[in-house]
A and B are shown apart, each in its own frame.
Chain A
């Protein structure tokens, strides 16, 4: 997942930049608050997305990108969550495969977390940031 800084169609206003940046902050706040269920980050970002459906293109574009990044983490994190639950409550044993999976999802979440922080800072400055994969998908579904 790389971050590409592109020029957007127009120069976003101060208010637009703040709203776009907040869409990334929503998912960060949910992580920092230590919410245990992986769906919480997605829900937080989704609420913000719904709230800004009628915002400017710049705001909608970044809300969509933030939502996509959280949505893609959901299945990956959910597998880890339910795997852990089955170890605690059923006959499933801790295995090397389980630990390897946990490390992999921690790495992906960390990468996503850092990318989200950078995106939050850059969009706050009014700079348009397109992520690897999510940026392209967002361009496809979020038209001006």
Chain B
């Protein structure tokens, strides 16, 4: 019996020693895991963006772009997010939608800007998308739903049906419930750090979930993010009792100008 115990412990010790020894090596760097996945992400992001940019006209109006840039940059600066890596694009599309693509593309539809009543509502949605970007949810969702091999073959010009599926998946922002919750709360934290009131973000979700019954195709961001009322409630609960400084970024006239320019 003693012999068996001794042999058992020696076997476990050998296993543990090999594992411990091997885990001291930085395999991620040795196998260049990050570089390989970054390259795939870059290719995919550029590929998807090209398709989206063909489907809708991009808004290049200097003033509009400058205002949106300044809002996103403010959120990034307050949260130590490298804003230089983010590629912001505003597309002329009536859908109330914003989404992220691989390789740090942030796409905002004019319909979203039109339907938000203030900068805080807009930044709540933008913060939510930035959270998906920062936490690596975009590639995770694509790999889970479509598969890495299909994605790689897509960038090489194959899989027409899979491309369609991927585009729908990306713009619908249909992430897992847990990922959505994580992105919501992270967005609220981003807003608090950036001294933006997060309450309008919850109000925006309440408002659109009511409108959804009448405007199913327009309220896209909300209709593809289920349980919006429940989400608005947990945002309200999260900020309840918290004190934070609110500092407006845009003047009333700047906000009005942005909405006017997007309308035109």
Contacts and interface: CB of A to CB of B under 8 A. Distances in A.
B28 A104 contact: no
A114 interface: no
A3 interface: no
A5 interface: no
A88 interface: yes
Interface residues of A, number: 22
Contact of B22 (A91, A103, A140): A103
Contacts of A97: 23
Contacts of B18: 104, 107
Contacts of B19: 100-101, 104
Contacts of B15: 76, 104, 108
A132 B22 contact: no
B52 interface: no
A3 B1 CA distance: 19
Contacts of B25: 96, 100
A99 B31 contact: yes
A103 B11 CA distance: 17
Contact of A99 (B3, B11, B27): B27
Contacts of A107: 18
Contacts of B179: 91
Contacts of B136: 93
Given A89-B144, A94-B33, A100 B27 contact: yes
A1 interface: yes
A133 B4 contact: yes
Interface in A41-100: 76, 88-89, 91, 93-97, 99-100
A137 interface: yes
A136 interface: yes
Contacts of B28: 94-96, 99
Interface class of chain B by DSSP = helix
Interface residues of B, number: 24
B8 A96 contact: no
Nearest to A89: B144
A118 B60 CA distance: 71
Contact of A140 (B4, B33, B178): B4
B140 interface: yes
Contacts of A91: 135, 140, 178-179
Nearest to A103: B22
B191 to A, nearest CB: 22
Contacts of A104: 15, 18-19, 22
A136 B7 contact: yes
Contacts of B144: 88-89
27 contacts: A76-B15, A88-B143, A88-B144, A89-B144, A91-B135, A91-B140, A91-B178, A94-B33, A95-B28, A96-B26, A96-B27, A99-B31, A100-B19, A101-B19, A101-B22, A103-B22, A104-B15, A104-B18, A104-B19, A104-B22, A108-B15, A132-B7, A133-B4, A136-B7, A137-B4, A140-B1, A140-B4
Name the 9 nearest CB pairs between A and B, nearest first. Answer: A100-B22, A100-B23, A99-B27, A133-B7, A96-B27, A104-B19, A136-B4, A97-B23, A104-B18
Interface of A: 1, 76, 88-89, 91, 93-97, 99-101, 103-104, 107-108, 132-133, 136-137, 140
